[in-house]
Amino acid sequence: MAFSPVLADPLSRSIFKKFAVMLCSLLTTLYFLHSLTDRCSTMPSPVRASDQVAGLFASDLHDLRSVRRKRLLQKWISKPGAIYRQADRQATRYGGAMFAGSESLREEHGGDDGALRVELSLPGSVSNLDILTRDVDMRTGSPGKLSPLGEGTKKLPQAIIIGVKKGGTRALLEFLRVHPDIRAVGAEPHFFDRNYDNGLEWYRDLMPKTLEGQITMEKTPSYFVTREAPARISAMSRDTKVIVVVRDPVTRAISDYTQTLSKKPDIPSFESLTFKNRTTGLIDTSWSAIQIGIYAKHLDNWLQYFPMEQILFVSGERLISDPAGELGRVQDFLGLKRIITDKHFYFNQTKGFPCLKKAEGSSKPHCLGKTKGRVHPNIDPEVVQRLRDFYRPFNMKFYQMTGRIFGWDD
C-alpha cells in the first residue's frame, strides 16, 4: 500500500489515526447535541394538574393542542413498513393490517351503513408524517417513534346509545364522534342482546383505546327493546349513562319497513303487515316495526334499573332540524364541554339532511351514507291514521314519563 511521505513513518500514522478518531467523536457529539436541541424545542410543557381534565374542558390553547394530540395519537398506528391512517374507525382490517379497536363492518348486517374510508400512505410519500411524528413525540417523550401498541387503554363504555332503531342513532353517534373527548366503536357490538355470553372482556376488547378524560361509547339500538338489557348494563356499571333517540313511532315504523324492504323486496305491503285483521282494524303489535314504537312500555323496563337522571331522550326530529341544539343537550348530559356547535353542521340540499362540515379524522364534509335518509314508500293514509290513533295513548304516557313533549300528535 502506498503512503504519502508524511504518513510513511509509524509515529505520524499513529498521530493521524488518533486525530481522525477525535474528529469523528467530535462530529458525532455535535450531531447528537443538535438533535437534542431540536427535540427539546418540541417537548411539552410540564403537566399541570388541570391537564387531567384538559380533554374535558379544553379552554385554552394548550388544552386545545392537547386535545388535538389525543386525536392524532389515536388515529395513527404503525406497522412495519407502512403507516396506516384510520380515517374512519369502521374498519378492522385493511390490506391485512390490524387496526386499533375492532370496529368492523359488521354493522352492515345490522342494517347500518358500514362506510369504510381508509387512507394508506407509505413512508416517505407522506408529507405530513414528520409533523405527525412530532405530535406523538410531544406526548410520549419518545422522539420520532410511533407507539406500535397505540395509546391509552380499552375501557367499558360509560355511555351507550341504546335506541331506538331508525330513530337517528347513527347520525347521533357520527356527530358525537367529532368531540375530542368521545371515542366510540363504529359498529354495533350487540353485546347486551346477542353476544352476552362472550363476557365483558370480549366486549371491552371491541372498544377503542381512550386516554384519561375521554368517554368510551357504543350504540346498539336493539338494547332499548331487549328485556334483559337494562339489568345487564346495570350489572356492568350502575353509573352507565344511556341515550335514546326517539322519533315519531309511525314514521319510525315506516322507516323500519323501508329498510327491510330494501333487503327483501318480496315482503308483503306495510298495510297488510300492520294489521292482524284488516277488516277489524286490529293492529299486529307483535310485528317488531310496530312493537318498537311503544316507547312507554320499553321505558318502564329501563326504569326498573336506571333512574331517569341517567337516561337522556334525544328527539329524532330535532336532530334533523336543529342538530347543534340536540348535541348541546347530549354534551351537557355527558358532562362534556359544548364543543360541537352549529359551526360543525351545514344542510346538504341534495341529501336533504344536516351533514358535518368536517367529519372526525378528516377535513372533508361528511354526510351519512345512502342507507340513512331513504325515500319511504307511500302508505295508505287511512292506515297511517289508524296507527296514529293506536300510538297516541302510549305517546302521552311517554311524554309524561320523560317530561318532554315530542310533538308527534299535533
Region of 7-15, 305-313, 370-378, 394-402 interacting with ligand A3P (CB under 6 A): 370-378
The contacts of residue 230 (CB under 8 Å, 6+ apart) are 301, 302, 304, 305, 306
From the candidates 154, 166, 209, 241, give the one annotated as an active-site residue. Answer: 166
Helix, strand, coil percentages for the chain (3-state, nearest 5): 45, 15, 40
- 171 lies in the binding site for ligand A3P (CB under 6 A): yes
Q: Which CB atom, from 327 or from 368, has the smaller least distance to ligand A3P?
A: 368
Answer yes or no: are the C-beta atoms of 213 and 57 closer than 8 Å: no
Please give the Cα distance from 231 to 304 (Å, whole number): 8
Contact pattern for ligand A3P over residues 292 through 321, marking x by CB under 6 A? ---------------------------xx-
- 368 lies in the binding site for ligand A3P (CB under 6 A): yes
- 406 lies in the binding site for ligand A3P (CB under 6 A): no
Q: How many residues does the chain have?
A: 410
Q: How far does Cα 334 stand from its chain's mean position?
A: 15
The residue among 42, 285, 45, 249 whose CA lies nearest residue 166 is 249
Q: Which CB atom, from 12 or from 258, has the smaller least distance to ligand A3P?
A: 258
CB of 75 to ligand A3P, least distance (A): 23
- 166 lies in the binding site for ligand A3P (CB under 6 A): yes
Q: Which CB atom, from 91 or from 289, has the smaller least distance to ligand A3P?
A: 289
Three cell numbers at 195? Answer: 353476544
Using CB under 6 A, which of 150, 213, 249, 354 touches ligand A3P?
Answer: 354
Please give the Cα distance from 356 to 299 (Å, whole number): 31
Please give the Cα distance from 357 to 226 (Å, whole number): 35
- 246 lies in the binding site for ligand A3P (CB under 6 A): no
Beta strand ranges found along 28-181 (DSSP E): 76-79, 82-85, 93-94, 97-98, 119-121, 153-154, 159-163
**Strands across the sheet containing 76-79:** 76-79, 82-85, 119-121
Q: Is 96 annotated as a binding residue?
A: no
Q: Is 167 annotated as a binding residue?
A: yes
Using CB under 6 A, which of 260, 305, 373, 379 touches ligand A3P?
Answer: 373
Q: Which CB atom, from 166 or from 209, has the smaller least distance to ligand A3P?
A: 166
CB of 368 to ligand A3P, least distance (A): 4
Is 70 part of the annotated catalytic residue set?
Answer: no
Q: Which residues are annotated as a binding site for 3'-phosphoadenylyl sulfate?
A: 166-170, 247, 255, 372-376
Which residues contact ligand A3P (rule: CB under 6 A)?
165-171, 221, 255, 258, 319-320, 353-354, 368, 372-374
Active-site amino acid positions = 166
